[in-house]
């Protein structure tokens, strides 16, 4: 008997793949959401074989506003016990010059789809008085990010939204956790075309370790976890310095 069902967005790569592995290893059936059909199918087969759970690939483009209700409808036969909103991507450039179409997709994937999936699955969890939600933000959520302004702001939304919901659901049997990774070795920087960024060239954590910290925080019902002691110290510092200084620091890192 499975422990329940976990739905993981952005499961085809990086942190999402590692989070899906942890859910499967914990005995959960998994629903794996992303655009990359071949990678999802391969991961699903691998997780089913390794952990003896049911793994279902669900191909969806979260930049399409109709994706969250379609995903919800596709999994309506069994309750979702763990919702992991991990899919996201970054963009760089001066806001005066960047492409709105790409930025609108970023808002849809990083912000609106995350909120919409939560809107669809949270009421059922509250009714059942059980369920856990893990939203993936970033250390970028704690500071303004010149030349990646939309990305940093999208993650500030995820952090604030998740902390507020964690408070709202107190006493319902449901928990909401937000994971803030710092630079992590995944496909994120290549996907954003920013492998020359100071964030990429500095120290980075292993995706498996970041996912482990997020998964354990979610299972423990914690509200917020910053991955890695170094990142925790840096964010403590970022809270103490004036926002303009933090912005200047982020500007230097983002420009490489
Ligand atoms: N890596 C870092 O340094 C770092 C640091 C802080 C926070 N984060 C956050 O961690 C999360 C995971 O990123 P990652 O580092 O694991 O990056 P990644 O290796 O590039 O993985 C991103 C995942 O998101 C999926 N995705 C992207 N656009 C999508 C869309 N339109 N529809 C559906 N799925 C989509 C990708 O799948 P498809 O391409 O197959 O759709 C992929 O599975 C993101 O929210 C990111 O912002 C990463």
Q: What pLDDT is stored for residue 247 in this prediction? A: 97
Tell me which residues have their CB closer than 6 angstroms to ligand 1: 10-16, 34-36, 61-63, 86-89, 109, 136, 138, 181, 183-184, 186-188, 191
Counting beta carbons within 10 angstroms of the beta carbon of residue 77, is it exposed (0 to 12), middle (13 to 18) or buried (19 or more)? exposed
Determine the atom of ligand 1 nearest the C-alpha atom of 13: 43
Region of 252 (left: φ > 0; alpha: ψ -120 to 50; beta: rest) is alpha
- Domain residues for the domain of 63 are 4-255
Number of domains in the chain: 1
Q: What pLDDT is stored for residue 202 in this prediction? A: 86
Residues designated catalytic: 151
Q: What pLDDT is stored for residue 256 in this prediction? A: 82
Q: What pLDDT is stored for residue 71 in this prediction? A: 98
Please, which pLDDT band fits residue 27 given cuts at 50, 70 and 90? very high
Please, which pLDDT band fits residue 1 given cuts at 50, 70 and 90? confident
Q: What pLDDT is stored for residue 35 in this prediction? A: 98
State how far the alpha carbon of 23 is from the alpha carbons of 37, 117, 150, in Å.
20, 18, 30
- 47-72 in b/e burial notation, b at 16+ Cβ within 10 A? bbeebebbbbbbebebbeeebbeebb
Q: What pLDDT is stored for residue 198 in this prediction? A: 86
Structure tokens at 28: 């959960």
Taking CA atoms only, the protein residue closest to ligand 1 atom 40 is 36
Residue 174 sits in a domain whose CATH number is 3.40.50.720
Q: Is 156 helix (H, G, I), strand (E, B) or coil?
A: helix
Q: How far is the CA of 136 from the centre of ligand 1 (A)?
A: 10
Region of 13 (left: φ > 0; alpha: ψ -120 to 50; beta: rest) is beta
Counting beta carbons within 10 angstroms of the beta carbon of residue 191, is it exposed (0 to 12), middle (13 to 18) or buried (19 or more)? middle
Q: How far is the CA of 86 from the centre of ligand 1 (A)?
A: 7
For residue range 187-235, list pLDDT tens digits in order. Answer: 999 999 999 988 888 899 999 999 999 999 999 999 999 999 999 999 9
Determine the atom of ligand 1 nearest the C-alpha atom of 16: 16
For residue range 172-184, list pLDDT tens digits in order. Answer: 999 999 999 999 9
Q: Is 131 helix (H, G, I), strand (E, B) or coil?
A: strand
Determine the atom of ligand 1 nearest the C-alpha atom of 185: 1
Please, which pLDDT band fits residue 4 given cuts at 50, 70 and 90? very high
Number of H helices, E strands in the chain: 11, 9
pLDDT more than 90, % of the chain: 96
For residue range 58-71, list pLDDT tens digits in order. Answer: 999 999 999 999 99
For residue range 99-154, list pLDDT tens digits in order. Answer: 999 999 999 999 999 999 999 999 999 999 999 999 999 999 999 999 999 999 99
Taking CA atoms only, the protein residue closest to ligand 1 atom 43 is 10
Distance between terminal CA atoms of the chain? 50
How far apart CA 226 and CA 90 sit, in angstroms, is 19
Q: Is the pLDDT of residue 18 over 90?
A: yes
Q: What pLDDT is stored for residue 112 in this prediction? A: 99
Taking CA atoms only, the protein residue closest to ligand 1 atom 36 is 10
Q: How far is the CA of 167 from the centre of ligand 1 (A)?
A: 26
Q: How far is the CA of 188 from the centre of ligand 1 (A)?
A: 6
């Amino acid at each position: 008997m499975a422990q329940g069902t976990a739905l993981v967005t952005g499961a085809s790569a990086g942190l999402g793949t590692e989070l899906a592995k942890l859910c499967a290893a914990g005995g959960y059936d998994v629903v794996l959401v992303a655009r990359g059909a071949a990678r999802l199918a391969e991961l699903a087969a691998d997780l089913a074989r390794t952990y003896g759970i049911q793994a279902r690939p669900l191909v969806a483009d979260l930049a399409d506003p109709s994706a969250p209700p379609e995903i919800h409808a596709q999994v309506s036969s069994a309750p979702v016990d763990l919702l992991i909103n991990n899919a996201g991507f970054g963009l760089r450039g001066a806001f005066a010059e960047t492409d709105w179409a790409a930025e609108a997709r970023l808002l849809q994937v990083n912000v609106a789809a995350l909120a919409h999936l939560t809107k669809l699955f949270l009421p059922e969890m509250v009714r059942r008085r059980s369920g856990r939600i893990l939203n993936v933000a970033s250390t970028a959520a704690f500071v303004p990010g010149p030349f990646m302004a939309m990305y940093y702001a999208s993650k500030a939304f995820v952090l604030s939204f998740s902390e507020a919901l964690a408070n709202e659901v107190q006493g319902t049997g449901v928990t909401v956790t937000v994971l803030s990774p710092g630079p992590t070795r995944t496909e994120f920087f290549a996907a954003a075309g920013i492998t020359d960024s100071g964030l990429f060239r500095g120290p980075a954590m292993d995706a498996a370790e970041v996912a482990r910290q997020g998964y354990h925080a979610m299972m423990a019902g914690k509200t917020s976890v910053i991955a890695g002691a170094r990142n925790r110290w840096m964010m403590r510092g970022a809270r103490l310095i004036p926002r303009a200084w933090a912005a200047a620091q982020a500007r230097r890192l983002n420009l490489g």
